[in-house]
Amino acid sequence: MQKNWTQTRTPVFNREAALKMNEIAKTVFAPIYPAIAQNAQLATGINRGLCLDLGSGPGMLAMAMASTVPDLSVVAVDSSEESNAIAQENIRSAGLEDRVKTAKGDVHGLPFPDDHANLIVSRGSMFFWADLLDAFKEIYRVLAPGGHTYIGGGFGSAALKDRVVAEMLKRDPSWDCYAKKKSDADDLKRFEETFAAIGCSTFRIINDETGFWIVLSKPERAE
Ligand SMILES: C[S@@+](CC[C@H](N)C(=O)[O-])C[C@H]1O[C@@H](n2cnc3c(N)ncnc32)[C@H](O)[C@@H]1O
């Protein structure tokens, strides 16, 4: 059985792909990151502590999280050395080195202790993970009690999506966007089964004009 049923094609993450993502993130995609950061803050209510951005690529969402939520420190995590190097340079250029760090890590085996991060965000990466059950098990392990995730994909609003998709299709008519793949009832059921299997009983799936986002919540520790 396919362990990531959201995948539409086999991903390649090399230097060329990392540079391409950096260019897109700084131009066509640039306005989406502050919108997504604001949506993540509103959806989760987290306004302090540690935030991880998983599959952060050039680090734009990580930086937007730090700018949007002043009491948050952020780690941009990616399995690709090239992406990490690019993110580091972007963070340095933005003067955010004190607030945003980078780490090499794979979502299937995160280099963090249990109950570590108050907020775990991720955009446009989940669709490439090899095994969603293993990845979400690991994410839930690292999430701190009282913490939430905001993981998925999208462009922040309907207007931003229209703008970005139009521009991307102008650049490349064959542009393959996961946003084209609508999540159907079967997909949603598989997510629900996945969250039940990792022991997470409080979750919300947002599937609207802001994108497709998974908010997992870990209960506070009992006193
Ligand atoms: C399409 S890019 C999105 C980058 C960024 N989140 C953004 O929206 O600008 C996907 C990123 O996910 C990373 N990635 C893919 N599989 C991963 C995994 N298993 N663990 C960590 N990062 C992963 C890739 O290296 C790549 O940088």
Query: How confident is the model over 24-43, as pLDDT tens digits?
Result: 999 999 999 999 999 999 99
Residue 174 DSSP symbol? T
CB 32 within 8 A of CB 164: yes
Q: Over 80: is that where the pLDDT of 211 sits?
A: yes
Percent of residues, the chain, with pLDDT higher than 90: 85
Average pLDDT, the chain: 94
| Nearest alpha carbon to residue 99 among 80, 79, 76 | 76
Give the residue, out of 75, 106, 125, 178, with the most ligand 1 atoms within 8 A of its beta carbon, to mutate for a pocket test.
Answer: 125
Query: How confident is the model over 43-59, as pLDDT tens digits?
Result: 999 999 999 999 999 99
What does the alpha-carbon distance between residue 78 and residue 32 come to, in Å, rounded to a whole number? 20
pLDDT of residue 222: 78
| Nearest alpha carbon to residue 216 among 125, 110, 143 | 143
The residue-averaged pLDDT of 83-109 equals: 98
| Nearest alpha carbon to residue 120 among 134, 136, 101 | 136
Any residues with CB less than 8 A from the CB of 40 and at least 6 apart, and which? Answer: 65, 119, 121, 150, 213
pLDDT of residue 175: 81
Both tokens of 5, joined, read: 């049923």
Percent of residues, the chain, with pLDDT higher than 70: 96
Residue 170 Cα to ligand 1 midpoint, Å, equals: 24
Q: H helices of 27-131, where?
A: 32-44, 60-68, 81-93
Question: Looking at 1-5, 12-16, 74-78, 213-217, which range is the least confident one?
Answer: 1-5
The answer to whether the CB of 90 is under 6 A from ligand 1 is no
The residue-averaged pLDDT of 106-135 equals: 97
Q: List the domain boundaries for the chain.
A: 21-182+189-217
- Please report the atom of ligand 1 found closest to the CA of residue 53: 6
What does the alpha-carbon distance between residue 155 and residue 92 come to, in Å, rounded to a whole number? 25
Query: How confident is the model over 162-195, as pLDDT tens digits?
Result: 999 999 999 988 887 655 555 677 888 999 999 9
Say if residue 17 is exposed, middle or buried (CB neighbours under 10 Å; 0-12, 13-18, 19+): middle
Both tokens of 72, joined, read: 């948050």
Residue 222 DSSP symbol? P
What kind of architecture, by CATH, is found in domain 21-182+189-217?
Answer: 3-Layer(aba) Sandwich (3.40)
Residue 82 Cα to ligand 1 midpoint, Å, equals: 11
What does the alpha-carbon distance between residue 33 and residue 40 come to, in Å, rounded to a whole number? 10
The residue-averaged pLDDT of 131-144 equals: 98
